[in-house]
């Protein structure tokens, strides 16, 4: 990036290049091209849900032990890794009657006959769907009815092949329609019930979430612009960016094997709308400034687009490259999120620097009504709130940044209350789903969830020794009969008496692995549902240690290239990390004492860090690029005050938009997304209100020209001086 771009000097050639996008004729061509692309890709937006991959095998790396078990089982015709064990639980206070049990038999037969995806859940010659009476008649080891007779369940296995969990909702609805008895409470539980609830939690993600986000953005833009018209253009462009981004992601998922799940789709739309609105706020604010200095709106946009471009480019690049760091994650779901978000931000950037400028120039000054920026009028930001904040910091900047840093460090102490040990199934959601109610009934009536098992694969000649090695492990049932696979391998299962994602189940898996690994020559592996969740936790912890330093390094390099200095990037990185720690510390206290969450997902710190650093650094980029631009003519200290007063309103508004859009994630009934939304929103507000406005400005005023070391940008290191009368309107011109 040329130094002239960063310092605000706009050579004629560069202005002409920027002006070509929004010239009298080209503005119509650019607008038509982008709108055509958006409408061409719009039909693919609704199809993105169809290419989601929410299967367990799509989340974990190949090196995980549970993944290796899945691979071995998938290569055998005797066991299919796409099997989804499912329970239909029945409850009647006082005890189920013989008529109830007979009805369960009939419903089990009807489910087996009518519901697509039912597979043989037992040995050959036995029913595909087991009810308590049938299990008792066949003298099967499964206990399907509680001792107090109040709870019983029907056991079945669903299998939809490659379609996986995407087909669960329809099957769940069919089963619920069949399983009805007067006076009996029925719940769909087990692995299949959890999958159905997970699908329900993401229901409407491609419509409801986007509409809620747009509604929040519109309210904030109305308050920011104080115009009943201007907000339409940023929102329209954000919607176009979302159509283009989701369309491209769909094509990559459909034809380039890009992993997309419900979680990444939710974050994609939120981030596209939020980041797009941020870029729009920055560009519109700069365009408004230039309209006061240029009579011709095309010329004003040429200056505005070129001067805003460095900050927008750096912001988009930071987010894209930061997100692409996620490809180095062990978790496939995390690794897939990186390219999804990078594509979304790149598409958003292109729309906001092409379509939005074109529409602004097409509409003209009237779009700012009722306060139109007329040629020659004064720039109001020179005497606004943030100008007064800068003046308040000026007398004692060192005291201000020391106190501010101390307060943020105190907030970081809340990190000691952050529990990332994982969440049980019941704790995963913000409301009590059907599968959770069914699971509670099983636990309260001492019935084991037969769908939660360990799957042990070992060499056939050692399979008996491996089975015996599991004797005495607490909360582990008796291993079933061994089933031969292929290539001299066999497998068996044993039921875990614990919730599938609880620490109790993890302890069973770890103890089982320790036991079978000690059997010489067995090459034994332990997988299953609980093992999958445990391996996810292990991979998340590894990703935290690898990805976080990598993102910091990448962001630092981008800041080095942008600011052509060493000290300033180090300061910015330090302030954002401090803001991240404070946000997580406060969030941890909110999670425990206000929201009552039991803990956090192991991957929560990484997601919060990546979003807060990649997004939080944006506001410092917006500020510091303006500081550098003004330093050329006014020195670092005066330039910092000018930059703060000029960018204060737009950065604060951008922060409010992004914070509000992430809080919309809380509308989904998932604790992970609710926590992520709260943490990112809180971190963004800290960045915009305190870190950028107070901490960074105080450091700039204290250090002066030293922040540009080793650059010679400001060797004079001049003290702050009041601009002469009449100059306040022109200090932001950079000329």
Q: Give the DSSP letter of residue 706.
A: G
How much is the pLDDT for 163? 60
Half-sphere exposure of 109 (CA within 13 A, CB side): 7
CB within 8 A of 523, min separation 6: which ones?
458, 459
Long-range contacts of 345-348, Cβ-Cβ distance < 8 Å, separation of 24 or more: 345/271, 345/272, 345/275, 345/316, 345/319, 345/320, 346/316, 346/320, 347/241, 347/244, 347/245, 347/248, 347/272, 348/238, 348/241, 348/245, 348/272, 348/275, 348/276, 348/279, 348/316
On the question of a common fold for 65-201 and 433-534, the answer reads yes
In the sheet that 151-158 helps form, which strands lie side by side, from edge to edge?
Answer: 118-119, 151-158, 84-91, 185-189
The domain spans of the chain are: 10-45+204-377, 65-201, 379-394+564-735, 433-534
- Assigned fold of 10-45+204-377: Multidrug efflux transporter AcrB transmembrane fold (1.20.1640)
CATH assignment, 65-201: 3.30.70
Q: Give the DSSP letter of residue 58.
A: G
- Token pair recorded at residue 192: 């299949």
Grouping H, G, I as helix, E, B as strand and the rest as coil, residue 89 is strand
How much is the pLDDT for 425? 74
Q: Give the DSSP letter of residue 261.
A: -
- Given a contact cutoff of 8 angstroms between Cβ atoms, the answer to whether 648 and 386 are in contact is yes
Long-range contacts of 588-595, Cβ-Cβ distance < 8 Å, separation of 24 or more: 588/414, 588/415, 588/416, 588/417, 588/418, 588/419, 589/414, 589/417, 590/678, 591/418, 591/675, 591/678, 592/417, 592/419, 595/674, 595/678
CA distance 172 to 540: 31
Query: Running along the chain, 735 residues long, what does each successive block of 10 average in pLDDT?
Result: 39 53 81 92 80 62 84 71 84 92 92 82 64 82 85 87 68 90 91 82 69 83 84 91 91 82 76 86 86 85 83 85 87 83 92 91 87 70 75 91 95 90 78 85 79 88 92 89 86 86 90 93 90 88 89 88 88 90 93 88 86 78 85 86 84 83 80 88 89 90 88 66 43 36
How much is the pLDDT for 672? 86
How much is the pLDDT for 376? 67
Is the dihedral angle over the CA atoms 130, 135, 140, 141 positive or is it negative?
positive
* Helix H or strand E segment including 169: helix 168-178
pTM for the full model? 0.78
How much is the pLDDT for 383? 60
How much is the pLDDT for 9? 44
CB within 8 A of 487, min separation 6: which ones?
none
How much is the pLDDT for 409? 95
Half-sphere exposure of 698 (CA within 13 A, CB side): 20
Domain 433-534 has CATH 3.30.70: yes
């Amino acid at each position: 990036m040329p130094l002239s771009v960063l310092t605000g000097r706009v050579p004629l050639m560069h202005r002409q290049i920027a002006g070509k996008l929004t010239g009298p004729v080209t503005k119509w061509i650019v607008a038509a091209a982008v709108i055509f692309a958006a409408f061409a890709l719009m039909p693919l937006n609704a199809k993105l849900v169809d290419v989601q991959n929410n299967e367990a095998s799509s989340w974990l790396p190949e090196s995980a032990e549970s993944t290796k078990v899945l691979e071995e089982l998938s290569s055998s015709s005797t066991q299919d890794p796409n099997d989804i064990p499912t329970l239909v639980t029945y409850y009647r206070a006082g005890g189920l009657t013989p008529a109830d049990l007979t009805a369960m038999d009939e419903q089990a037969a009807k489910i087996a006959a009518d519901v697509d995806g039912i597979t043989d859940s037992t040995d050959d010659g036995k029913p595909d769907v087991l009810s308590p009476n049938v299990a008792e008649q066949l003298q099967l080891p499964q206990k399907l009815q509680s001792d107090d007779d109040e709870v019983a369940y029907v056991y079945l296995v669903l299998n939809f092949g490659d379609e996986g969990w995407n087909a669960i909702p329809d099957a769940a609805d069919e089963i619920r329609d069949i399983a009805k008895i007067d006076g009996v409470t029925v719940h769909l539980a087990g692995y299949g019930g959890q999958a159905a609830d997970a699908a329900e939690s993401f229901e409407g993600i491609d419509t409801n979430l986007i509409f809620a986000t747009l509604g929040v953005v519109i309210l904030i833009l109305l308050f920011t612009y104080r115009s009943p018209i201007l907000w339409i253009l940023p929102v329209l462009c954000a919607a176009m960016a979302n159509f283009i981004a989701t369309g491209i992601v769909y094509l990559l998922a459909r034809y380039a094997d890009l992993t997309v799940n419900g979680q990444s789709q939710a974050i994609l739309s939120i981030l596209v709308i939020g980041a797009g609105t941020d870029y729009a706020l920055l560009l519109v604010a700069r365009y408004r400034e230039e309209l006061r200095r240029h009579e011709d709106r095309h010329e004003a946009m040429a200056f505005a687009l070129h001067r805003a471009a460095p900050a927008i480019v750096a912001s988009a690049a930071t987010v894209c490259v930061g997100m692409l760091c996620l490809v180095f994650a062990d978790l496939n779901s995390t690794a897939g999120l990186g390219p999804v978000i990078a594509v979304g931000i790149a598409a958003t950037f292109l729309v906001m620097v092409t379509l939005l400028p074109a529409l602004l120039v097409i509409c003209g000054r009237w779009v700012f009504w009722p306060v139109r920026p007329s040629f020659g009028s004064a720039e109001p930001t020179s005497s606004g709130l943030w100008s007064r904040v800068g003046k308040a910091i000026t007398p004692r900047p060192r005291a201000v940044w020391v106190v501010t840093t101390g307060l943020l460090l105190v907030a970081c102490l809340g990190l000691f209350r952050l529990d990332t040990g994982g969440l049980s199934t019941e704790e995963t959601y913000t409301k009590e789903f059907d599968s959770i109610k069914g699971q509670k009934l099983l636990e309260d009536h001492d019935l084991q969830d037969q769908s939660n098992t360990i799957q042990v694969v070992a060499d056939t000649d050692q399979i008996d020794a491996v089975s015996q090695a599991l004797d005495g492990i607490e909360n582990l049932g008796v291993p079933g009969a061994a089933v031969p696979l292929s290539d001299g391998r066999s497998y068996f299962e044993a039921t875990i008496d614990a919730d599938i994602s609880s620490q109790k189940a993890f302890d069973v898996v770890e103890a089982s692995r320790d036991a079978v690994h000690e059997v010489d020559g067995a090459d034994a592996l332990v997988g299953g549902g609980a093992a999958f969740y445990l391996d996810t936790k292990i991979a998340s912890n590894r990703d935290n240690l690898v990805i976080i330093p990598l993102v910091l390094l990448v962001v630092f390099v981008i800041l080095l290239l942008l600011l052509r200095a060493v000290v300033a990037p180090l300061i910015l990185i330090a302030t954002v990390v401090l803001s991240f720690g404070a946000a997580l510390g406060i969030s941890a206290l909110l999670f425990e004492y206000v929201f009552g969450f039991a803990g956090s997902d192991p991957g929560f710190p990484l997601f919060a860090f990546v979003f807060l650093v990649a997004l939080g650094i944006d506001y410092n980029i917006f500020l510091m690029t303006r500081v550098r631009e003004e330093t050329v003519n006014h020195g670092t200290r005066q330039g910092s005050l000018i930059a703060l007063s000029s960018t204060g309103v737009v950065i604060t508004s951008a922060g409010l938009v992004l914070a509000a859009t992430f809080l919309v994630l809380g509308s989904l009934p998932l604790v992970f997304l609710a926590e992520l939304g709260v943490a990112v929103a809180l971190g963004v507000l800290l960045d915009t209100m305190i870190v950028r406005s107070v901490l960074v400005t105080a450091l700039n005023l204290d250090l002066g020209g030293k922040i540009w070391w080793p650059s010679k940008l400001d060797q004079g290191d001049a003290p702050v001086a009041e601009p002469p009368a009449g100059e306040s309107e022109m200090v932001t011109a950079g000329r």
